[in-house]
Chains A and B, each alone.
Chain A
Amino acid sequence: MKRLCGLLAGVVAIMMLGGCASRSIYSWGSYENQVYLMYAKPDKATAERQVAALDEDFEKARSKNKPVPPGFHAHLGYLCYQLGKGDRARQEFEAEKAAFPESAVFVDRMLANMQSK
């Protein structure tokens, strides 16, 4: 019975998403997988490797004409900052803020922190 309920719940979830079944809002690429790897298998997700993978994801998203998800540019910016690429880091944080004004308070804080270091 419990399993049947699970099945029904899943069907409801699909119906709920039915309106947008043909499209997701974002092009996800490997963003969440990078986050997973940086904690689970850090040697597979050094800052350099992550930046390379995310750059590729960004190009794919652009070719599909889809936005990258919230947090993507900020994550990339943080990695660039760790690699000592201050200008690129700033650009990425600004891109996060431009795409998602909701991020402004946090992004401005990160930018200010980078400035002061």
Chain B
Amino acid sequence: MSTRLLGLILGGVILGVAATGCKTTPYDYTNFRQHHPHSILVLPPLNESTAVEATYGYLSTVTMPLAEMGYYVYPVAVIDHFLKENGMPTAGEMHQVPLQKVDEIIGADAVLYITVEQYGTKYQVINSASIVRARGKLVDVKTGLVLWEGIGAAEEDSGGSGSIIGDLISAALTQVINSSTDRAHKVAPMANVNLLMIKDRGLLYGPRHPEFAKEK
């Protein structure tokens, strides 16, 4: 396992804030199992946050978890450029593409629609916390059925050292060194772990994962 992926998962453990808490009932995967996709088209996310960078900051973190879970993921930036060249300049317009067109032009089995709800840094007096929160919906291209829906969030708190003066200095430094969107971008992969990879509420494994058959 790559150190980055392991880091993500450990990050998810240490810093993850499960958005939906301890839900005991697993997601109903009936539709998912009946129309198990091999390939997933990830469209640039809709952005409900105040950070304009959220759409592409988040988009650039989605391929790894989906691919490592065993799915084919279309090249996100190439798809974005392709759709822009074909008269869809914004994520909003891309999310309106009829599924029949997706089938015909791209050939994807399923489309993952993501909406970023929060993306950025909350500055407090001493601490600043980067928060990313997103919801996702996976739709079967052939039937239009919703295969899965979920929500995930992660928060990274810069923390305090206990010494007020020391904290004020380091908080000021952190704010200078890290732009808030860069920090949010580092938190986004953890939000993805919580959105997509949690057992019983994330996605099922895809055909390219060794666990695929066992889970069925």
Contact = CB atoms under 8 A, between A and B. Distances in A.
A55 B81 CA distance: 21
B197 to A, nearest CB: 5
A7 interface: yes
Contacts of B21: 1-2, 5
B73 A13 contact: no
* Chain A interface residue number, banded: 35 or more
Contacts of B67: 25-26, 69-71
Interface residues of B, number: 60
Main secondary structure, interface of A, reads helix
A22 B1 contact: yes
B167 interface: no
B77 interface: yes
Interface string A19-60: 111111111100111011011100000000000000000000
21 contacts: A6-B18, A6-B194, A8-B22, A9-B16, A10-B12, A13-B193, A15-B199, A16-B199, A25-B70, A28-B5, A31-B63, A35-B63, A35-B76, A40-B53, A70-B72, A78-B81, A103-B39, A103-B72, A105-B105, A106-B107, A110-B78
Interface of A: 1-3, 5-17, 19-28, 31-33, 35-36, 38-40, 69-72, 74-75, 78, 96, 100, 102-106, 109-110
Interface of B: 1-2, 4-6, 9-10, 12-18, 21-22, 38-39, 53, 56-57, 59-61, 63-64, 67-68, 70-79, 81-82, 104-109, 181-182, 185, 193-194, 197-200, 202, 208-211
